[in-house]
Amino acid sequence: MSGEVHVRFCEGLGVQFPGLLTIREILNRLMELVPEETLRGRYVRQVEVLSQLRDLQNEVSEEAENMAIVYDMERDIRFRQGLVEGERKGLLEGERKGLLEGERRGLLEGERRGLLEGIELGLELKYGSAGVELMDVVCIIPTVDKLEEFKNLIRRADSLDELKLFLGKAYKMPNGD
């Protein structure tokens, strides 16, 4: 292949050399024959060196720059290596974030369960079975902050009605309570 390009180029340097048309043909032929970018660049540089024999290096350089060079990134080894490395880093980062989020959720759920158990114990100790009956509504309290607020209210409340009032305002108590 290399010999064909050189022979073709040298033919173009003869008496009937039609100028830029031949340079364009040579470079187009290189594009067709050499799909690999690095190797094609080497051949283009060889053509530039040969073009110095006829003082045509500027024309060859300009034509090479003006050509639409199609480069298949997915075939490039560095691109593929970068892609694999990027995927590896992305998976590690995703795994790390997933673990952190799982840990955060686990801690919140543990705190929530602990508060619910403490609230149930507080209701039972302070109000007996009538207090424990509120647990169905207490369990639907969505946030740890509201559970903390309710737990503190159990300590301060003088009657079960105060607790029912809090729950009724925020979490629709069943009728009859």
6-20, 66-80, 85-99 — which one is most confidently predicted on average? 85-99
Give the pair of three-digit tokens for residue 31.
């594009």
What is the reported pTM? Answer: 0.47
41-45, 78-82, 134-138 — which one is most confidently predicted on average? 134-138
Which pLDDT score, from 0 to 100, does residue 68 have?
58
Which pLDDT score, from 0 to 100, does residue 150 have?
94
Which residue is listed with tokens 């290399």?
Answer: 2
Q: In the structure, what pLDDT confidence band is assigned to residue 69 with cuts at 50, 70 and 90?
A: low
Q: Average pLDDT over the chain, rounded to whole?
A: 80
Of 125, 38, 116, nearest in space to 76 by CA: 38
C-alpha distances in Å from residue 134, one per residue of 4, 124, 176: 92, 10, 12
**Percent with pLDDT over 70 in the chain:** 79
